[in-house]
Amino acid sequence: MSTTIDATQQTTALTEDQADVLVRERAAESRNASRVLAGLTRQQKDDALVAVGETLVAHAETIIEANAEDLRRGEANGTSPQLLDRLMLDTARIEGLRSALRELAGLPDPIGEVVRGSTLPNGLRLRQTRVPLGVVGAIYEARPNVTVDIAGIGLKSGNAVLLRGGSAAASTNAVLVELIRTTLVANGVPAGAVQTVDDGGRPAAAAMMRAVGSIDLLVPRGGHGLIQDVVRNSRVPVVQTGEGNVHVYLHQDAPVERAMQIVHNAKVHRPSVCNAAETLLIHADAATAGAAAMTALAESDVVLHTDERAAALVPQLETVPATEEDWATEYGALEIAVRVVDSLDQALEHIRTYSTGHTEAIVTDSIAAQRQFVAGVDSAAVMINASTRFTDGGQLGLGAEVGISTQKMHARGPMGLAELTTTQWVVEGDGHVRA
């Protein structure tokens, strides 16, 4: 069954039964492809990754034209600026995708890695090795770069991927998937390694959640509504990803220049992504650093939702009184909540109350404060004197990522190659039988 999509046509709504058939047929193709992928050498996988990157750059004009259709449709439908930013692909971002695929090719192959091993007193030889999960499904929205990221990391880790990219990026994803599949086949990799069910629409996304036994792991990437819908309704194992109510805390000794740079980068560098800062906590004795950081944000048109004490630090600036809702809000835009606290303990209590477990940062020269912050924060990533924007598979040297896991099983933080594997016990004997 071809997975090529005519993105210019409206998909016909499928019944639940039709959607189940569509997903299970494609997942069966993915399963067959995964068996081939599991046996590929590292060189075969790396060559294919590099070739996909070159293909994307060579066809950049075609990709950008398709992306322009999605952007026009999004603007007409009133899509927010931050979502349009996530949706957009230009020459620089396509070059970035090629670089990410090249970096991924340069990483060690996790498949076959021996996690641990030993020889028992009875002579049995044991080793626990990494093997692919098999078929990884992804449901995401308005992020065509995710199509390439997941396809690439799936290939490198020996997994076939089944994608549902959402209607917002339908034109772009159709072109990307077709280019990827054509390139894989030309490099000896089965086309079933990368498939989409976008032509099945939302019913196909729901069917993916029901596809127990056909899909081994489901990864949602998107806003709060999408992620929670998948978490609540999926019968397939899910890795909860992406929700990022991220905090930056300025301790009492926070250096002014460093605090200003880190806070500004964490919020302004790319405000629509999940590792962007959403709340700034300022120790009462860090007033100068806090005021400098808030001023820098305001100069970049960031709306400051402040408590009374934070507003008093910058009387020359226009601020918005913060509400209880602001502390729990992931803005995904040029907005940030700001609160003054009296101690590190109070900052930690605020974070425990409102954090989504993604990333938290502290700015301080105090080793004791750093250790207390790390010990007191229950999040996937903790930054010490660094921007929260570094919670990213590429930035942490993991290559591309399928998402940032905010749960504790089976993966946490950026999900790189190792996080898309499971393990297998290999037991060697010499005619051993159990007494």
Q: Is the dihedral of CA 45, 50, 54, 59 positive or negative?
A: positive
Q: How would DSSP label each residue in 288-320?
A: HHHHHHHHHHHHTT-EEEE-HHHHHH-TTS--E
Name the DSSP letter for residue 228. Answer: H
Average pLDDT over residues 400-427: 88
Domain contains 2: no
Average pLDDT (277-295) is 98
Q: What is the C-alpha separation between 283 and 254, in angstroms, rounded?
A: 9
> Are 125 and 201 in a shared domain?
yes
Shared domain check, 69 and 37: yes
Q: How confident is the model at residue 248 (pLDDT cuts 50, 70, 90)?
A: very high
DSSP state of 393: T
Q: Name the amino acid, one letter, at 350.
A: H
Beta bridge partners of 117: 127
pLDDT given at position 131: 97
Report pLDDT digits (tens) over 92-147.
999 999 999 999 999 999 999 999 999 999 999 999 999 999 999 999 988 899 99
Q: What's the one-letter identity of residue 110?
A: P
200 and 259 fall within a common domain: no
Question: In the predicted model, is pLDDT for residue 8 greater than 60?
Answer: no
The pLDDT of residue 85 is: 87
Which tokens is 249 given? 């805390």
The reported pTM is 0.84
Q: Which residue has the higher pLDDT, 336 or 241?
A: 336
Give a yes or no: residue 426 inside a domain: no
Q: Check which CATH number belongs to the domain holding 354 and give it.
A: 3.40.309.10
Residue 407 lies inside a defined structural domain of this protein: no
Q: How confident is the model at residue 5 (pLDDT cuts 50, 70, 90)?
A: very low
- The range of the structural domain enclosing residue 77 comes to 16-233
- Would residue 9 count as lying in a domain? no
HSE of 60, CA atoms in CB hemisphere, 13 A = 15
Strand arrangement of the beta sheet that strand 160-164 belongs to: 194-196, 160-164, 135-140, 217-221
- Residue 120: other Cβ atoms inside 10 A: 11
pLDDT at 7 over 70: no
Largest interatomic CA distance in the chain:
82
Q: Are residues 50 and 104 in the same domain?
A: yes
What pLDDT shows up at residue 2?
Answer: 37
Task: Please tell me whether residues 72 and 212 are part of one structural domain.
Answer: yes
| Torsion on CA atoms 285, 289, 291, 297, rounded to nearest 10 | -140
The residue that leads in pLDDT, 401 or 358, is 358
Helices 256-268 and 287-299: crossing angle in degrees, nearest 10, is 40
pLDDT at 414: 87
Question: With bands split at pLDDT 50, 70 and 90, how would you rate the model's confidence at 408?
Answer: confident
- Is residue 129 domain-shared with residue 251, that is, in the same domain? no
Backbone angles phi, psi at 58, to 5 degrees: -65, -30
Neighbouring C-beta atoms of residue 384, cutoff 10 Å: 14
252 shares a domain with 220:
no
Range of weakest confidence among 4-13, 249-258, 386-395? 4-13
Q: List the one residue out of 407, 283, 253 whose CA is nearest residue 350.
A: 283
Q: What is the pLDDT of residue 86?
A: 85
Q: Give the pLDDT confidence of 181-221 residue by residue, as tens digits.
A: 999 999 999 999 999 999 999 999 999 999 999 999 999 98
Q: How many structural domains does the chain have? A: 2
41-89 pLDDT tens trace: 999 999 999 999 999 999 999 999 999 999 999 999 998 887 898 899 9
CA–CA distance, 399 with 420 (Å, rounded to integer): 13
> Once rounded to an integer, what is the mean pLDDT over residues 219-235?
89
Average pLDDT over residues 327-348: 96
**How many residues can be counted in the chain?**
435
pLDDT given at position 12: 61
Mean of the per-residue pLDDT values for the chain? 93
Amino acid in the structure at residue 61: E
Q: Residue 9 above 60 pLDDT?
A: no
Residue pair 195/165 in contact (Cβ under 8 Å)? The answer is: no
